[in-house]
Amino acid sequence: MRTNLTVTCSAPRLRQRLAAMVELNLFRIVQEAVNNAEKHARAKTVAVRIGRQGDSMMLQIRDDGRGFDAQEPKAGKAMGHGNGLSNMRERALAVGGTCEVKSIPRRGTVVTVRVPFKKA
């Protein structure tokens, strides 16, 4: 095992798959958020939830890591980190969605992505 990070997932079964581009971008956002939680936040747990809300899909990734000041314009970059937060936002925008990051120092981070529900 590479890490002691515990990840839980909640994802109801959908009758139809999402468009391939939406699925790929949501997967990459989860991948980036979990990587950030492990590498930068030093989180112990991450909870991933995805579900339909009306005409949208909502993806939420919540960690119990050390958090950061999300209002700081260069929050990740100032600490010598990469472009992960901007990449997540760009991926959400690429499929017509939004990505909101809320974080509080010593309280963790929540990434919420909403994309239009488009079937494959």
pLDDT tens over the chain, length 120 residues: 467 899 999 998 888 889 999 999 999 999 999 999 999 999 999 999 999 988 999 999 999 999 998 777 565 555 555 688 999 999 999 999 999 999 999 999 999 999 998 766
Check which CATH number belongs to the domain holding 100 and give it: 3.30.565.10
Give the pLDDT confidence score for residue 75 in this predicted structure.
Answer: 57
70 within some domain: yes
**Structural domain harbouring 25:** 6-116
**Total number of domains in the chain:** 1
Residues 6+ apart with CB under 8 A from 28: 87, 91
43 within some domain: yes
CA-to-CA separations, 37 to 4, 47, 55, 85, 90, in angstroms, rounded: 12, 11, 29, 12, 19
1 within some domain: no
